[in-house]
Structure 1
Amino acid sequence: MRKRSLGAGRRRSERVWLQRHIAAPERMQNTRYTVWLHLPALAAAWLAAAGLGAAEPLKLSSPMPYAVFQRSPANSSRIPIHGVAAAPVSRLEAKVTLAPGYRERVDGRSSEFVEIARPASREFHAWLEAPAGGWYTVTVRALDAAGGVVAEGTVSKVGVGEVFVAAGHSFCSNFQGDRPGKAEEDRVATCIDWSTTPPEHLAFRHADDPLRPGDARRASPWPAVGDVLVRQLHVPVLIISTGIGGTTVERWRTVAENPSSGDSSYAACRTTLQRWIPYTGIRALIWFGNENDLNQGPTTEVFSDNFRRLITRARADAGIPNLPWVIGFDAYDPGIAEKIGPVEMQRRKERIDRGAQTVLETVPFTYDGPQTDDLGPEFRRVDGDHFNEAGVRQLGIRFARQITRAFFPPPIPEPQPPRETTP
Structure 2
Amino acid sequence: MKTTLLMRLAVCAVLCQSALGFAAVVDDVPESKAYELLLDLKLPNAATYNVTPPTYETDKSKTWSTSFDRVAYHLEVKRPDESRQWIWVSMQAFTDDPSKVGIPHSGAKIFWQQSLQDLDVRTNHSTVKEVTQSQSGNIEFWPSNYGVQNTAQVPNASDTAYDFGDGPATGPGYGSMQIHDHGQKTTLFAYNSWGSNATTDDLGIGNNATPMSSGAVHSDWTFRGNAAEYEIKRLRVYLRPGPTPGGLAVQLTSPGDRQVVQRNEDGLGSIEVSGALTSFASHIEASAVALKGGVDAPWQVIDASPTKSFHGALQLQQGWYRLDIRVWQDETLLTEISSPEFGVGDVYITAGQSNSANSGKPAQTPTSPMVGAWGPSGWRHAKDPQPIATGVGGTPWPHLGDLLVEAYGVPVGFISVGWGGTSVTQWQPGHSKQLFERLKLALGHVGWRGARAILWHQGESDAASKMTSKTYRELMTKLIDASRDYAGWTIPWGVARASYLPKLGQTEIQAIVDGQQQVIDADKTVFEGPNTNDMIGSVWRHDTVHFNEAGLKEHAKRWKETIPTPTASVKTAPVDEPDAGEPIEADAGGELDSASTSDSGATL
Scaled by the length of structure 2, the TM-score of the pair is: 0.51
Cα drift, residue 273 of structure 1: 2.2
1:62 and 1:348, CA in 2 relative to 1: closer, same or farther beyond 3 A?
Answer: same
Is residue 2:539 matched to residue 1:379? yes
Is residue 2:286 matched to residue 1:118? no
Is residue 2:337 matched to residue 1:162? no
**Structure 1 unpaired stretches of 5+:** 1-53, 193-198, 337-344, 410-423
Could you say what secondary structure the match of 2:393 adopts? coil
Q: State how far apart, in whole Å, the 2-side matches of 1:242 and 1:387 are.
A: 18
**Structure 2 unpaired stretches of 5+:** 1-245, 569-604
Contact 1:55 1:149 in 2 (8 A): no
Return the letter of the residue paired with 1:65: D
Is residue 2:480 matched to residue 1:311? yes
Q: State how far apart, in whole Å, the 1-side matches of 2:549 and 2:326 are.
A: 46
1:131 and 1:382, CA in 2 relative to 1: closer, same or farther beyond 3 A?
Answer: closer
Which has the larger share of helix? 1
Q: State how far apart, in whole Å, the 2-side matches of 1:85 and 1:169 are.
A: 43
Which has the larger share of strand? 2
Is residue 2:326 matched to residue 1:141? yes
Could you say what secondary structure the match of 2:558 adopts? helix
Structure 1 partner of 2:594: none
Which among 162, 182, 203 is matched to residue 365 of structure 2?
Answer: 182
Q: State how far apart, in whole Å, the 2-side matches of 1:350 and 1:186 are.
A: 39
Q: State how far apart, in whole Å, the 2-side matches of 1:203 and 1:69 are.
A: 13
Scaled by the length of structure 1, the TM-score of the pair is: 0.71
- Identity in percent: 27
Return the letter of the residue paired with 2:496: G
Structure 2 partner of 1:129: 315
Which among 206, 222, 226 is matched to residue 397 of structure 2?
Answer: 222
Contact 1:56 1:152 in 2 (8 A): no
Return the letter of the residue paired with 1:377: G
Structure 2 partner of 1:90: 282
Is residue 2:491 matched to residue 1:323? yes
Cα drift, residue 138 of structure 1: 0.8
Cα drift, residue 186 of structure 1: 1.5
Q: State how far apart, in whole Å, the 2-side matches of 1:382 and 1:284 are.
A: 29
Q: State how far apart, in whole Å, the 2-side matches of 1:408 and 1:385 are.
A: 35
Structure 1 partner of 2:438: 268
Could you say what secondary structure the match of 1:89 adopts? coil
Is residue 2:525 matched to residue 1:365? yes
1:108 and 1:378, CA in 2 relative to 1: closer, same or farther beyond 3 A?
Answer: farther
Is residue 2:264 matched to residue 1:72? yes
Contact 2:426 2:434 in 1 (8 A): no
**Residue-by-residue CA offset, 1:384-418 (whole Å, 9 max, x unaligned):** 2211111111111111121244x349xxxxxxxxx
Return the letter of the residue paired with 2:274: H
Which among 425, 441, 447 is matched to residue 250 of structure 1?
Answer: 425
Is residue 2:355 matched to residue 1:171? yes
Q: State how far apart, in whole Å, the 2-side matches of 1:297 and 1:65 are.
A: 44
Cα drift, residue 303 of structure 1: 1.0
**Residue-by-residue CA offset, 1:78-104 (whole Å, 9 max, x unaligned):** 1101123344433332111123xx4xx
Could you say what secondary structure the match of 1:355 adopts? helix
1:188 and 1:379, CA in 2 relative to 1: closer, same or farther beyond 3 A?
Answer: farther
Contact 2:448 2:488 in 1 (8 A): no
- Note the aligned Cα RMSD (angstroms): 2.3
Is residue 2:250 matched to residue 1:58? yes
Q: State how far apart, in whole Å, the 1-side matches of 2:258 and 2:306 are.
A: 30
Q: State how far apart, in whole Å, the 2-side matches of 1:309 and 1:56 are.
A: 48
Return the letter of the residue paired with 2:530: P
Q: State how far apart, in whole Å, the 1-side matches of 2:516 and 2:318 are.
A: 33
Which among 279, 282, 307 is matched to residue 451 of structure 2?
Answer: 282
1:234 and 1:224, CA in 2 relative to 1: closer, same or farther beyond 3 A?
Answer: same
Could you say what secondary structure the match of 2:447 adopts? helix
Contact 1:379 1:387 in 2 (8 A): no
Could you say what secondary structure the match of 1:335 adopts? coil
Cα drift, residue 69 of structure 1: 0.8
